[in-house]
Amino acid sequence: MRLIFFLVISLIGASAASAQDRFMPTASCTQVAGFDDAAEHQAMERYLYFAVTSMLETTLPDTAETYAELRRRTGTVCVDMPYGTSIENAVIALVSGLSSSSPEDEARALLGKFLDPGADRRALTAALRPTQAELAMIFKSALLPAVTAYVDSIYDGAAIGPNQGQTELLVVTATTTELINRDPVIGKFPGGYNELLPYLNRGIPIVRFKFVEPGETLGMAFDGLYKVSDRWVLIPKAWRVVPE
C-alpha cells in the first residue's frame, strides 16, 4: 500500500506541477500557508486531498471545506517538523498520526476522561463540538444547514457524562461505510440511523457508547461520536433533523 501511495502522490505532484510551475510536493512545508497565487493554492489543496485519501484508503467529501481543513491540519504538522521538511513528508507524518491507533482505543481513552469524578464535563463536552468544515466531512450538503443549526442548539452549556455509580464504559465502533452497507453492526446503533444513512459520507469512524454501573448493560447512552481527520466530534441523534 505504501508503494502505491508514493506512486499516486508522485503522479498527482507531476500533474500539479505541469499545471502550476511553482507548486511541487517536494517544496518546503512552510509554504502550506504561504501560496498567494490562487491556482497554486488550488493545486496544493488538490494534492493534499488525493494524497491523504489515497494513503488512508478512505473517502472524504470532495469539497472546498475539506481542502481547507486538510491544509490547516497539514500546516499544524509542519510547525512541529524540522525546517525544510517537504510538503510530501508533512503529509506522510499527518497520515501516520491519523492511523497510529485504533478508533476504539482512541474513543475509550477520550471517553474515559468523563469517568473521572473531578472532570470538567462541560469543558470536555465543548471540546467535542464540530466545526462547519468537520460537519461537511460527515454529512452530505443537503443536510448541512439543518445539522449546523441542530449542533448550535444542543451545545449551549451541554455536559454529558455518567450518573452516580456508573463507573464503566461500553463502546461500539463502526464506520459510516459499514452502516451505509447495512453490515450487522448497524443493529447495535439506534434505529434512527436508518433515516440518517442517505445523508452520511463514507469512510468515517463512528462510535456509540454508554456509561454503566459495573456488570450492567443499561445506562447513559450516547451515539454519534465521529472521527474526522485527527479529531473526535459528537453529534448525537442527528436523525432528528432528517427531512420527512
> To which residue does cell 445523508 refer?
199
What whole-number distance in Å separates Cα of residue 118 and Cα of residue 130? 25
230 φ/ψ sector (left φ>0, alpha ψ -120 to 50, else beta): alpha
pLDDT for residue 81 is more than 80: no
Residue 108 in 3-state DSSP?
A: helix
Q: Which tens digit of pLDDT belongs to each residue from 136-166?
A: 889 998 999 999 999 999 998 899 999 999 9
Question: In the prediction, which pLDDT does 13 show?
Answer: 46
pLDDT range class, residue 34, cuts 50, 70, 90: low
> Which residues touch 112 (CB under 8 Å, ≥6 apart)?
169
pLDDT for residue 21 is more than 70: no
What whole-number distance in Å separates Cα of residue 173 and Cα of residue 176? 10
Question: In the prediction, which pLDDT does 151 show?
Answer: 96
Give the predicted TM-score (pTM) of the model: 0.64
Cell matching residue 124 = 470536555
The distance from CA 20 to its chain's CA centroid, rounded to whole angstroms, is 30
pLDDT for residue 25 is more than 50: yes
Burial 182-218 (b: 16+ CB within 10 A, else e): eeebbeebeeebeebeebbbebbbbbbbbbbeeeeee
Question: In the prediction, which pLDDT does 2 show?
Answer: 41
What whole-number distance in Å separates Cα of residue 44 and Cα of residue 199? 29
Across 55-59, average pLDDT: 70
Residue 233 in 3-state DSSP?
A: strand
